[in-house]
Amino acid sequence: MASVTLTVNGKQVTATVDPRTLLAQFLRENLHLTGTHVGCDTSQCGACVVHVNGRAVKSCTTLAVSCDGASVTTIEGIGTPDNLHPMQTAFRENHGLQCGFCTPGMIMSAIDIVNRKGNKLDEHTIREELEGNICRCTGYHNIVKAVAQGAAAMK
Amino acid sequence: MYAFNYHAPKTVRQAATLLAKNEEGKVLAGGQTLLPTMKQRLASPSALIDLNHAEGMTGIEQKGRNIVIGAMTRHVEVATSAVVKNAIPGLAALAEGIGDAAVRNRGTIGGSIANNDPAADYPSAALALNATIITNKRKITADEFFQGMFATALEEGEIIVKVSFPIPSKAAYEKFPNPASRYALVGVFVAKKGSDVRVAVTGAGSNGVFRSKECEAALASRFNAKALDGVKVAASGLNADMHASADYRAHLIPVMAKRAVEKATAK
């Protein structure tokens, strides 16, 4: 067993875990933050994307213990039902989801794109940057629109 | 994933000691290949020696006529580094094309080079740019370092600390990604430094990254895309699988080389 201390959505947590505990598993099973989804579990679909020290990572491909001391932000940490994050608002307004399974990862990746590339994103950039997030419902069209609008609203 | 003992050394020296003590242990860098491999139970190390908390293993600096990159430097940092973009833009562009954004935020240059996946991008840059791989024990030239599929010159207890890239006069990378996995079906890195021209190919060789003598010979007299017209690469020793035949990969090598030279010589 190994000890891990993280700051998750602003709150410090310390736990003793089996070292093979994935960050996604730790968030979902230890902290009950089930907004982070595990889709493919093979590092491809991006449903599990969270921010570690401000950067989007696939939490199904990261050990919780590797993140010891880090600050982690999940979909639960960016807004509340009454006060959505601008990117969440943009997904709602553009109908950027159907089943919603990929949405937490899409939104966390989208915010990371804005952090790296700024508020003015063209369609090509958004599509390239969303390479690691797979949606099986929407055909991406409304997701791309939502990311562009959310990016502009994050100014 | 099978259980393992976990170690988080604070220094490279501690990491090397732990690695020597754990015969079946493995070094964990960004984990973007190792962890999926362990999840599929294709690897079952007895211990993981995690470098994510080791000091002095990240960073990018120009030292004389070389760009020196710490082994734990993430792909995103190489892709966005002003130093790399200025000195070796082809290397920054290569880093920008690895995996996807989340993988680039986590994956490291040292991990990629140590793993020597036959379809990984970085080995082609290291080989074409005539890089030196600096470990906790010694310096190894790229020509000696890459020894076949997933095989390197690294000995037991040896850990990559830095990679030093001599600054070329011209260099660029072009890859033909597998449409599904996005790994290089064929990736070609071309580099010219003085009169020395090196062309390294990833994705195609059944024994990992290699230098294309045919392309190098054509470009030696004239570093120009036209010099590659009519160059044929033999299909023997190339991969054949459901994605592409050896003949197709052989065909793609000069095509990608040509595009890379065009990119490297564009102004």
- Pick A57's closest partner by Cβ from B1, B8, B105: B105
**Burial class of B138 by CB neighbour count within 10 A (0 to 12, 13 to 18, 19+):** exposed
Backbone angles phi, psi at B191, to 5 degrees: -145, 140
* Interchain CB contact of A3 with B (< 8 Å): no
pLDDT for the residue A14 = 98
The CA distance from B234 to the nearest CA of chain A, in Å, is: 33
* Interchain CB contact of B49 with A (< 8 Å): no
Helix B246-265 crosses helix B89-96 at what angle (to 10 degrees)?
130
Work out the percent of chain A whose per-residue pLDDT is above 70.
100
- Look at A109 and B76 and tell me if their CB atoms are within 8 Å: no
Q: Where are the domains of chain B?
A: 5-53, 60-166, 170-265
- Pick A66's closest partner by Cβ from B36, B39, B50: B50
**What is the third-level CATH fold of B5-53?**
3.30.43
Provide the number of CB pairs (under 8 Å) joining chain A to chain B: 82
- Token pair in block for residue B3: 């259980």
Please tell me the distance from the alpha carbon of residue B8 to that of residue B148, in angstroms, as a whole number: 30
Among the four given CATH numbers 3.30.465.10, 3.40.50.720, 1.10.3720.10, 1.10.10.10, the one describing domain B60-166: 3.30.465.10
With H, G, I as helix, E, B as strand and everything else as coil, classify residue B238: strand
CB-CB neighbours of A114 under 10 Å: 22
CB-CB neighbours of B61 under 10 Å: 12
DSSP chain A: -EEEEEEETTEEEEEEE-TT-BHHHIIIIIS--TTS--SSSSSSS-TTEEEETTEEEEGGGSBTGGGTT-EEE-GGGS-BTTB--HHHHHHHHTT--SS-SSHHHHHHHHHHHHHHH-S---HHHHHHHGGG---SSSTTHHHHHHHHHHHHHT-
Taking CA atoms, what residue in A is nearest to B30? Answer: A62
Q: Return the sign of the alpha-carbon dihedral for residues B67, B70, B75, B79.
A: negative
pLDDT for the residue B97 = 96
Find the farthest-apart pair of alpha carbons in chain B and give their distance in angstroms, rounded. Answer: 56
**Closest to A71 (Cα-Cα) out of A3, A134, A6, A138:** A6
pLDDT tens for each residue of B25-61:
999 999 999 999 999 999 999 999 999 999 999 999 9
The CATH number assigned to the domain with range B170-265 reads 3.30.390.50
Confidence of residue A68 (pLDDT cuts 50, 70, 90): very high
pLDDT for the residue B245 = 97
The CA distance from B180 to the nearest CA of chain A, in Å, is: 10
Which segments in chain B show pLDDT lower than 70? 267
pLDDT tens for each residue of A75-127:
999 999 999 999 999 999 999 999 999 999 999 999 999 999 999 999 999 99
Tell me the domains of chain A and their CATH numbers. Answer: 2-77 (3.10.20.30), 86-153 (1.10.150.120)
pLDDT for the residue A139 = 87
Strand partners, B50: B28
The complex scores an ipTM of 0.96
Q: Return the sign of the alpha-carbon dihedral for residues A104, A136, B182, B207.
A: positive
CB-CB neighbours of B71 under 10 Å: 26
pLDDT for the residue A138 = 87
pLDDT for the residue B60 = 98
pLDDT for the residue A124 = 97
